[in-house]
A and B are shown apart, each in its own frame.
Chain A
Amino acid sequence: MLLDFDRLGPWKWVLITITTLVCLFLLLPIVFIAALSFGSSQWLIFPPPGWTTRWYGELFADPRWLQSAFTSLKIAAIVTVLSVGIGFLAALSLNRGSFAGREVLRALFLTPMILPVVVLAVALYAFFLRIGLNGTTLGFIIAHLLIALPFSIISIGSALEGFDKSIEDAAILCGASPWEARLRVTVPAISHGLFGAAVFSFLASWDEVVLAIFMASPTLQTLPVKIWATLRQDLTPVIAAASTLLILFTMLLMIIAALVRRGSKQGTKP
């Protein structure tokens, strides 16, 4: 290899230093938040003067926090199911279809990724105002589905790309109807892509804040919105506790995703 680590000589240490700094830059804010959530000061002082789990107690004692976490979970779960389902159908037609305007449609599906979220949020807000969807669960789901769908289409699309359609044809000649073949053969064969789509869709909704702020009402708030709103009212370490749990949950999902991906690779390669 051109850049062989063992042959870098003194440059090795430069590389190690830069790598360490980048890692610290990425990780320190998380460590900082986690430390604050266990700090005894109620003014978010760093380093914390003492240690306590009091803020976690307050967090779990407040029904509004639990309520918003449940709302987040519910919306993210529904968005995940819809995003994977619609994403599978969309990816299937983008991958297999030979209709006019296929590339235009593909680009259209991916625009929510490029469009500034705040632009999307304002547009949705104005539109939902007319049809009365602001502050409703359905409004949340539609908004989050918009930003989750591109992840699904990309993930499932690339899995389909690597799946030979002849395998599906073989299943059809074996007697399976086209949809039976897709469900019993194609879906299991691209399960890693579907799982990736599910994780990314869930996370896209779970930690989304901009659209959520526009969609939210005082009675319907997701966890990120609750954190945001609380942050503006009073700067309590409960926010740090909530944020830490949010991060932990996200990390857990990513770890599961990585494990599943490794498992599916071992299944297909000797």
Chain B
Amino acid sequence: MTSAFIEIRDIKKQYGPITAVKDVTLDIRKGEFMTFLGPSGSGKSTTLYMLAGFEYPTAGDIRLNGRTLLDTPSHKRNIGMVFQRYTLFPHLTVGENVAFPLRIRRLPKADVERKVREALRLVRLEGFEDRKPALMSGGQQQRVALARALVYDPPVLLMDEPLSALDKKLREEIQFEIRRIHQETGVTILYVTHDQEEALRLSDRIAVFSQGKIDQIGSGQTLYAEPATRFVAGFIGDSNFIDTDVVSVEGSHATLALPGGRTVSGVPLHSAGPGKTAALLLRPERIDLKVGEAGAADALSGTIRDITFLGNNTDVLVDIPAGKQLSVRLPFGHPMLDGLRPALPVALSFNPATVHAFQG
């Protein structure tokens, strides 16, 4: 890709015998909102810290605008960053905090004042210039940190789980603000989070990290509809996995034997190994449920174990053969809901072309 703004090439980070990041390669376009999503210890933060320059890769290269960043120390990289913890300078006021990067750069006083005002307006904190950080809420502090990271117009903004210390409602409010600021400024954002909902809400593209490498890169929709690995399938969205036997493989599709003996063919198969079994991913909202015994066209038979009303959805837990359970989701007002009772026999079916199986 020639239009890449940031190129991460085969970077690796080794701490003694432990490999924290293995061969991560990634291209990021100018103005893109890219999220590193993964559980803790998956290497996403380490990768971000290598971009910031606080960690140095054991191997590989990171290029910005075609030039390597690795021989530039952190303070000369001209990158903005918002941290997980509150990092406002406690002895300075909000205004002085935002002015700090400009004073370091020895900008004329008038420019400093104008830019600080603009940055505080961007995060909707006009009039807070003289406040001390300790007197502000967590959400306000992170917005000041955002203003401080953007005031010097960095080409790249790094965000390391900036909202993880905030409560859910405030988090959603600031997610919305971050989206707006991204649209207004056009800055390229690399965002680290372990919260899939946050990643889906904010990002243009998401890189899913697992055990030090990237499993898949794509838009939220792609990751949800076309997960490349079992890990991605399980991490993004709700999912059922059922163990199946691989009967035969036809190119990239397979015929699978389901619990209870029926087979389905034409299932997209992602092979991670030569195993004779595959985990079949069934999204709870994409399973069709019918009351009664399974007919020839149905895939699985089962009995209802439990019904949970969740507001906009109702979760139906179904016992299927081989002692497994499957969760099926029906939207509020679904005509079938009234007839469902625990212990009722049901038949389940799904479109084989829209599900995925992971061999290995």
Residues of A within 8 A of B (CB): 164, 166-167, 169-178, 180-181, 184-185, 188-189, 191, 267-270
Contacts and interface: CB of A to CB of B under 8 A. Distances in A.
Interface stretch (B87-95, B258-266, B283-291): B87-95
B52 interface: yes
A174 B100 contact: yes
B75 A172 contact: yes
A175 to B, nearest CB: 4
Contacts of B148: 170, 174
Contacts of A270: 134-135
A267 B92 CA distance: 10
Given A268-B134, A269-B134, A174 B90 contact: no
B93 to A, nearest CB: 11
A172 B100 CA distance: 11
Chain B interface, >50% SS class: loop
Contacts of A185: 89
Interface string B133-162: 011000000000100110010000000000
B310 interface: no
Given A174-B75, A269-B134, 20 more contacts: A164-B87, A167-B87, A167-B88, A169-B83, A170-B148, A173-B74, A173-B77, A173-B79, A173-B81, A174-B101, A174-B104, A174-B148, A174-B152, A175-B104, A176-B75, A176-B104, A177-B73, A180-B75, A267-B134, A270-B134
Contacts of A189: 89-91
B325 interface: no
B54 interface: yes
B245 to A, nearest CB: 51
Contact of B100 (A171, A177, A191, A267): A171
B152 A164 contact: no
Given A175-B101, A176-B104, A191 B91 contact: yes
B85 interface: yes
Contact of B152 (A171, A175, A180): A175
B268 interface: no
B105 interface: yes
Nearest to B86: A164
Contacts of B105: 175
A184 B96 CA distance: 12
Given A172-B74, A175-B105, A180-B104, A166 B83 contact: yes
A166 B145 CA distance: 12
22 contacts: A164-B85, A164-B87, A166-B83, A166-B85, A169-B81, A169-B83, A169-B87, A170-B83, A171-B89, A173-B75, A174-B100, A175-B75, A175-B78, A175-B105, A176-B75, A176-B100, A180-B104, A184-B100, A185-B89, A189-B89, A267-B90, A267-B134
Contacts of B134: 267-270
Max chain B CB contacts within 10 Å: which of A164, A170, A171? A170
A177 B101 CA distance: 11
B214 to A, nearest CB: 24
A153 to B, nearest CB: 22
Contact of A178 (B75, B88, B90): B75
Contacts of A269: 134
Interface in B62-85: 73-81, 83-85
B132 interface: yes
Contacts of A268: 90, 134
A169 B89 contact: no
Contacts of A173: 52, 74-75, 77, 79-81, 149
